[in-house]
C-alpha cells in the first residue's frame, strides 16, 4: 500500500478562493482587511516566513504591514509598538513573530496584544474561548490541520486521534480542537510526548496520527497502524550532501517508511506548511469582519 498524499498547497488554494470573496465583500463596505507582522531581530527562518505572509496579503488584496525592529529592541519598545498596533484602525489582525530575543518575555508581549486582533490566537483569552468551544479565532497550524482533514474527506467523528507533542502552539490546541463537537472533530484524543512510556504502543492505536514533536524522522513505520491517516507538522533541516545547498527539509515522520503503512499522509515540504499562512490570513479576514460589524 502507498498512501494518498494530502497536499496543503491544493487545499489552501480552495480556501484562498473563499477568502477572496469575503475580502471583496468587506471592500464593498469600505473595509480592507489589514494584517501586520512585527519581526524583532534577524532570524533567517522568521524572515522567510514574514516575507511569505506579506506576499500572500498582496496577492489577496489585503493591507499588509511588516515592522522590522533590531535585535537589541527593549521589551518596553516592543510593548509600545504592540500598543500602537492595538490602536491602529487600519490593522485588524497582527502578530509578533516568535521566537523573540531572550531578553524579551514572550508571555508579556502576547498578553499585551488586543485579543480582537490576535491573529496567531496565542492570547490567553482566545485560548480559553477555543477550549470551551466558542472560538474567536483558531491557532493557524492546528486550524490548518483540521481543514486538511475535513477537505480531504477524512472522517474524524468517533476516531482515535493521537497527538504527538504538547506545545502551546500545536500539540495542546490541536488536541483541544479535535475534542470539540462538530465537523472535523468529535474525536477521542490522546496526547503523547517525550516523557510518555512505551509511546509506540499508543501511536499504533491511532486512526489519525498528528505529529508535532520537533524530531526528524521520529515516527517510523512500525509505530503506525495499518491504514492510519498521518499528519506531519514537523519541519526539520537535516544535512544532505546530494542537495544543492547541502541540506533538506524533512518532517517528524519517516515519510518513506510510513507512506507504505498509512492510508493518507502529508509530505514535508508541501503538506501542513502552506496551511499555516492560509489560516493566518483567514484569522485576519475574520478580525476585519468582526470590526466591521462593531462599527
Q: Show which residues are catalytic.
A: 53, 97, 120
Judge whether 103 and 75 are in contact, CB under 8 Å: yes
C-alpha cell at 187: 474525536
**Bond before 99 cis per omega within 30 degrees:** yes
Single out the residue of 100, 49, 50 nearest to residue 73, CA to CA. 100
As a whole number of angstroms, the distance between CA 173 and CA 193 comes to 14
Q: For residue 265, list its beta bridge partners.
A: 5, 230
As a whole number of angstroms, the distance between CA 41 and CA 44 comes to 9
Please list, residue by residue across 232-271, b when 16 or more beta carbons sit within 10 angstroms of its beta carbon and e when fewer do.
Answer: bbbbbeeeeeeeeeeeebbbbbbbebbbebbbbbbbbeeb
Amino acid at each position: 500500500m502507498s498512501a494518498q498524499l494530502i497536499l496543503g498547497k491544493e487545499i489552501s488554494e480552495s480556501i484562498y478562493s473563499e477568502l477572496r470573496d469575503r475580502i471583496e465583500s468587506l471592500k464593498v463596505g469600505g473595509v480592507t482587511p489589514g494584517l501586520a507582522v512585527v519581526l524583532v531581530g534577524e532570524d533567517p527562518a522568521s524572515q522567510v516566513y514574514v516575507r511569505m505572509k506579506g506576499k500572500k496579503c498582496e496577492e489577496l488584496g489585503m493591507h499588509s504591514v511588516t515592522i522590522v525592529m533590531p535585535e537589541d529592541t527593549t521589551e518596553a519598545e516592543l510593548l509600545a509598538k504592540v500598543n500602537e498596533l492595538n490602536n491602529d484602525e487600519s490593522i485588524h489582525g497582527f502578530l509578533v513573530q516568535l521566537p523573540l530575543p531572550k531578553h524579551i518575555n514572550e508571555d508579556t508581549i502576547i498578553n499585551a496584544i488586543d485579543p480582537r486582533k490576535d491573529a496567531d490566537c496565542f492570547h490567553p483569552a482566545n485560548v480559553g474561548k477555543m477550549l470551551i468551544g466558542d472560538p474567536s479565532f483558531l491557532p493557524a497550524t492546528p486550524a490548518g490541520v483540521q481543514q486538511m482533514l475535513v477537505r480531504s474527506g477524512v472522517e474524524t467523528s468517533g476516531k482515535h486521534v493521537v497527538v504527538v507533542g504538547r506545545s502551546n502552539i500545536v500539540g495542546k490546541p490541536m488536541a483541544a480542537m479535535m475534542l470539540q463537537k462538530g465537523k472535523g472533530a468529535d474525536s477521542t484524543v490522546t496526547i503523547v510526548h517525550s516523557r510518555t512510556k512505551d509511546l509506540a504502543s499508543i501511536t499504533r492505536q491511532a486512526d489519525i496520527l498528528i505529529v508535532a514533536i520537533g524530531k526528524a524522522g521520529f515516527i517510523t513505520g512500525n509505530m503506525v497502524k495499518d491504514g492510519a491517516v498521518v499528519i506531519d507538522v514537523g519541519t526539520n533541516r537535516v544535512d544532505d550532501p546530494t542537495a544543492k545547498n547541502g541540506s533538506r527539509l524533512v518532517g517528524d515522520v519517516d515519510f518513506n517508511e510510513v507512506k507504505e503503512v498509512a492510508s493518507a499522509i502529508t509530505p514535508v515540504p508541501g503538506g501542513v506548511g502552506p496551511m499555516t499562512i492560509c489560516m493566518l490570513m483567514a484569522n485576519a479576514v475574520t478580525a476585519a469582519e468582526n470590526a466591521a460589524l462593531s462599527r
